[in-house]
Structure 1
């Protein structure tokens, strides 16, 4: 019965170990499966997003080709010539008709070859600026052969929106119509013919607007770039389905043909992606690119703003029905991954992880069995451990007389008991030795305490002595430092005095130069005054000459008067002249006398000025000599002061060295004082430590005394 209970207990332990490990492994398996599945979905979304970008580039590449064809045809020389003929016809109407028809036939032929070669356009039209078709080439969708429209079947398109929008554009601007289905007489053509129109104004050779050129593109060719079912990852068996939506959420390319072009029919207005997948559609309104997973599947999407993209790749102004960037031209490429595909991906990951999971379960089962066997052996060992614990408790109580029973086995527990037995014996020997050593330590510590107290008293006296020495050295250092500062101040004053005297010497030198310049100026003035005196002497000579001339003139006038008296009435006129000459001579004599007086006065003034200038020059020279003497004396004083400066520097250096030495002595004594105090403190600590050691030894002896040891 006891064996059965033990067996049941061991089984329950096994279940308690295995079940939590199994649950933890299962939870880890589910977590890894979920993370792996999420990572695979993210990889799938990333790969599909790249495929969408490739399709977007292919679609825009087709649009770029259409714009290039439109620009090429719009610049056709025959179109320019035809436009000029329609705008400004010659007087002869019949000639105009022949000429226009000739150009129309040539354009029909060129457009025919163009459409036949491209196979991209369902219709190419040239319309004049009144809205009348001039040339129209249709591509028969059945045999894919171009057809030239006869003249009598050409129509007036002036009321069509694409004509009215395009005719208002400027040169090189492009109009793009909404992407829809072609209509015939107001009804959608059957089978469906998706079409999008690109148009631009055409101009005459004189740059006058002549009409418009329209290229109607096979929409199916563009939609083929968004292939409905494209293999996303053939090696993993995953298939993605691609859709193209307009801004209102209608399918331009859908999962099924019945879903497509719902906005073209009254009964299809509710067939929208927004109604089928509202949660996905709402997410698309806030993000340009991204992906979202719902119960309906995984959707990866990217937006295309057709007008902006065309303008960017062509660098031309592009317009739509509702002007730039309207919602009608905002498309969305959507890739769809069905729930079945996602479930298959989950199953594939599950299949990959299942062998690993089962292998771990098997390992856990084996580990549980091993643990159960270890538990069974542990129960047997537990009884022996209990016996060992009881013996260890006795040892802890101080009974070292116990013995451990060992068996003839080599397991770890038997080795542990043998170690305990050996430890007990060694501990008995150690305690005996500790008791003997305790007595010796007590005796030694008592003697050491006495020596320590004596040494402490000696160190206390040494601390007092070093404190007095340190105070004295600090006073010496302070006195030396003050002396050094006083010497430094005296040296600074001497240097300042030398500098000031040097400046005074420089100013005396400048004064000497100024007085020398003044002396030179006075000499120059004296020279000028001498020159003026010489010129005055020359003026006297001239005055003397003028006086002589005046006397001769007066004599001549007297002779003339005498001769006039002799001539009688015939000499009356000559007598008047003689009288005027005499009067002029008298005036000249008077003026000459005044000039002579002024010149004499000027000569006297000049002579006086020359004498004064000579006297002033002598005084200036004396001042120069005095300044020279003063400068020499000042220079001697400066030299003596400057000689004092190095001596003061030497005295200052000596004072500083003395102050530094005193400071070093003070610092050394401070360090010695600190060391002495530290030593005294250490001695006190040593005394306290010895006291503590005595207390510890006493406590140790008390603790050892409670051990019970075997005798002998």
Structure 2
């Protein structure tokens, strides 16, 4: 699919437009990749940073609560064992609270009030400390407005009975030194909720006499506002939402105040209504007391931290903070804007330059295409001429090879005939030697001359025939040498026509021509010698005829004949040598012709390879021309 699109893209869009499109993509894509990577990396970094800051923020807010309640349980236990408590218990047990002992009893009450006052001064978040007897009656009560300077002891007439209060009944069930921690709720006076609302957290422990009998409880009321207000007024991220939730999921603090204290005001506003069941479950019942929650698809980053109020970790306050992710990723908006502006500015700067440069490139390519097209046409024409010349050279080489084959056959035949002439000359030489011996016999026995003259005449006739044969062979050799000379001349002409490839062949043809000329000269010499032999034979015949007439002249004739035969022997030896030279020359001619034939075969192979190379060059030139035409269409 992509390949078809790219192919269609190349065909339908001009090169200049393709360059501009590629320039746009090459500008946008890198910036987009870098921008995406930067946004992705920055998103993860900002998210991790926000999670870390949220964890630290939750920890700081949790420390407000932990600092406010730290040590209060121990303080009420210590108060339950102070001497004034024991003294008051003993005085009440012995009935010494009448008018007689009133002053002493009041002193005990004041001592206990003093202890309570010191506790409130050291812990300003404590707004009320009370001692209730075993019947729930307040014995001592100090109230504070949350400052260490305004602490009041409640008069005896205003003391209340709290035996129905749940914290009294629950605390009276505890063992010694155990502490009861109440839920955070509105403070009640005379059974009614105090207004303005005063949320309190109570720490209470039972009081025992020396016999281990329960004698009431010590109760310290902490103002929940002491840690709620600082948390609400602490630094926030823009758009951050803070909530305080009790262990039942009711809001103690919420940005929407009408959702607060639903369990006291009869409203069913809980955490489960605003959060998914999974998140609500994690905040209220998860094993971990702290966590950061990043729900997929949620626009908020949530975190919680539980602060336990009692040692059993059954009562707690959950600090829940939500931060809009748009605030976390707000710095990315400027980064995205910069990325978009970078793309626009890059395109504004690059596109005009790219248009100009692409136009220049297209013009250069067009000129190059025209040059390639012209060159390919010229090259194609030249190659066709070279192909025609190579074909002619191949034909000439083939014809020359055929001629040299014929010349080789002719030389072989001349060599055989020269060998036959050599054999005949050797036989004539033998006959000449016999003639010499015969002349010697004539000198030894003149009387036998007459008989031998006839034999000599016959031998001379036979010698005349051989001489005639030698003359014929010599003429044949002369003709062959003449033909060889003509063939060598033709070969030299063809070598010249073959050009550079025929230079070696021209040298060989010239050597063959020289050998043919030498063979012709040797044959001419043989003809002269044969003529001399024939003349000598004729003279011998005449002498023989005269020898029959006179014996006196026989000796002289015999001497002359001996001399003549000596000359004949020398001539025959010369004929033998000439025939040997002719045979050697013919062998050299055959070897030279074979070399010429081999050279012509090499030339033929070179011509064929040249023709193949020319054909390949022709195909490549045609492909180059086609590519130039396609490129011209593209631009």
TM-score when normalising by structure 2: 0.52
CA distance in 2, matches of 1:157, 1:344: 55
CA distance in 1, matches of 2:189, 2:21: 81
Q: Do residues 128 (structure 1) and 126 (structure 2) align?
A: no
| Structure 1 partner of 2:204 | 199
Please give the residue correspondences for 1:530-679 in structure 2 after superposition, counting only pairs within 5 Å. none
Decide whether aligned partners of structure 1 residues 357 and 333 sit closer, same or farther in structure 2, where only a CA change above 3 A counts: farther
| Structure 2 partner of 1:341 | 327
Decide whether aligned partners of structure 1 residues 335 and 357 sit closer, same or farther in structure 2, where only a CA change above 3 A counts: farther
| Structure 1 partner of 2:108 | 103
Q: Do residues 707 (structure 1) and 610 (structure 2) align?
A: yes
Decide whether aligned partners of structure 1 residues 78 and 352 sit closer, same or farther in structure 2, where only a CA change above 3 A counts: farther
Decide whether aligned partners of structure 1 residues 384 and 706 sit closer, same or farther in structure 2, where only a CA change above 3 A counts: same
Decide whether aligned partners of structure 1 residues 703 and 275 sit closer, same or farther in structure 2, where only a CA change above 3 A counts: farther
CA distance in 2, matches of 1:393, 1:175: 111
CA distance in 2, matches of 1:347, 1:373: 40
| Structure 2 partner of 1:422 | none
Please give the residue correspondences for 1:284-363 in structure 2 after superposition, counting only pairs within 5 Å. 284=283, 288-292=290-294, 297-307=299-309, 318=311, 324-326=312-314, 329-338=315-324, 341-342=327-328, 344-362=330-348
CA distance in 1, matches of 2:383, 2:94: 132
| Structure 1 partner of 2:169 | 164
CA distance in 2, matches of 1:53, 1:209: 40
Please give the residue correspondences for 1:233-252 in structure 2 after superposition, counting only pairs within 5 Å. 238=238, 240-252=240-252
1:297 CA displacement:
4.5
Could you tell me whether the CA contact under 8 Å between 2:43 and 2:329 is conserved in 1?
Answer: no
Aligned residues: CA RMSD: 4.4
Classify the secondary structure of the residue corresponding to 2:216. strand
CA distance in 1, matches of 2:382, 2:80: 114
CA distance in 1, matches of 2:245, 2:135: 36
Q: Do residues 62 (structure 1) and 68 (structure 2) align?
A: yes
CA distance in 2, matches of 1:123, 1:294: 47
1:125 CA displacement:
0.6
1:148 CA displacement:
1.2
CA distance in 1, matches of 2:22, 2:141: 87
Aligned residue among 44, 51, 56 for 2:57: 51
More moved, 179-188 vs 20-29: 20-29
Decide whether aligned partners of structure 1 residues 151 and 362 sit closer, same or farther in structure 2, where only a CA change above 3 A counts: same
1:172 CA displacement:
2.4
Aligned residue among 347, 354, 366 for 1:379: 366
Could you tell me whether the CA contact under 8 Å between 1:297 and 1:342 is conserved in 2?
Answer: no
Cα deviations by residue, 1:59-118 (Å, 9 ceiling, x for unpaired):
2122114234334423322223333444x5278966665543331122123323443554
Decide whether aligned partners of structure 1 residues 207 and 364 sit closer, same or farther in structure 2, where only a CA change above 3 A counts: farther
1:221 CA displacement:
0.7
Could you tell me whether the CA contact under 8 Å between 1:299 and 1:334 is conserved in 2?
Answer: no
1:358 CA displacement:
4.1
Could you tell me whether the CA contact under 8 Å between 2:305 and 2:319 is conserved in 1?
Answer: yes
Could you tell me whether the CA contact under 8 Å between 1:291 and 1:298 is conserved in 2?
Answer: no
Aligned residue among 42, 46, 55 for 1:36: 42
CA distance in 2, matches of 1:106, 1:367: 95
CA distance in 2, matches of 1:401, 1:206: 140
CA distance in 2, matches of 1:241, 1:304: 17
Larger radius of gyration: 2
| Structure 1 partner of 2:263 | 263
CA distance in 1, matches of 2:201, 2:606: 108
Please give the residue correspondences for 1:170-569 in structure 2 after superposition, counting only pairs within 5 Å. 170-204=175-209, 208-228=213-233, 230-232=235-237, 238=238, 240-266=240-266, 268-269=267-268, 271-278=269-276, 281=280, 284=283, 288-292=290-294, 297-307=299-309, 318=311, 324-326=312-314, 329-338=315-324, 341-342=327-328, 344-362=330-348, 364-365=350-351, 368-369=354-355, 370-385=357-372
Decide whether aligned partners of structure 1 residues 706 and 142 sit closer, same or farther in structure 2, where only a CA change above 3 A counts: closer
1:333 CA displacement:
1.2
Classify the secondary structure of the residue corresponding to 2:318. strand
Paired positions, count: 387
1:190 CA displacement:
2.2
Classify the secondary structure of the residue corresponding to 1:248. coil
CA distance in 2, matches of 1:284, 1:92: 53
Classify the secondary structure of the residue corresponding to 1:192. coil
More moved, 29-38 vs 145-154: 29-38
Cα deviations by residue, 1:463-491 (Å, 9 ceiling, x for unpaired):
xxxxxxxxxxxxxxxxxxxxxxxxxxxxx
Could you tell me whether the CA contact under 8 Å between 1:230 and 1:239 is conserved in 2?
Answer: no
1:361 CA displacement:
3.7
Could you tell me whether the CA contact under 8 Å between 2:187 and 2:194 is conserved in 1?
Answer: yes
Could you tell me whether the CA contact under 8 Å between 1:296 and 1:338 is conserved in 2?
Answer: no
CA distance in 1, matches of 2:16, 2:42: 37
Q: Where in structure 1 are there 5+ consecutive unaligned residues? A: 1-5, 233-237, 311-317, 319-323, 403-431, 437-697
Decide whether aligned partners of structure 1 residues 55 and 15 sit closer, same or farther in structure 2, where only a CA change above 3 A counts: same
Cα deviations by residue, 1:553-572 (Å, 9 ceiling, x for unpaired):
xxxxxxxxxxxxxxxxxxxx
Aligned residue among 132, 152, 159 for 1:154: 159
Decide whether aligned partners of structure 1 residues 91 and 259 sit closer, same or farther in structure 2, where only a CA change above 3 A counts: closer
Decide whether aligned partners of structure 1 residues 68 and 372 sit closer, same or farther in structure 2, where only a CA change above 3 A counts: farther
Q: Where in structure 2 are there 5+ consecutive unaligned residues? A: 1-10, 390-499, 505-600, 615-635
1:25 CA displacement:
5.2
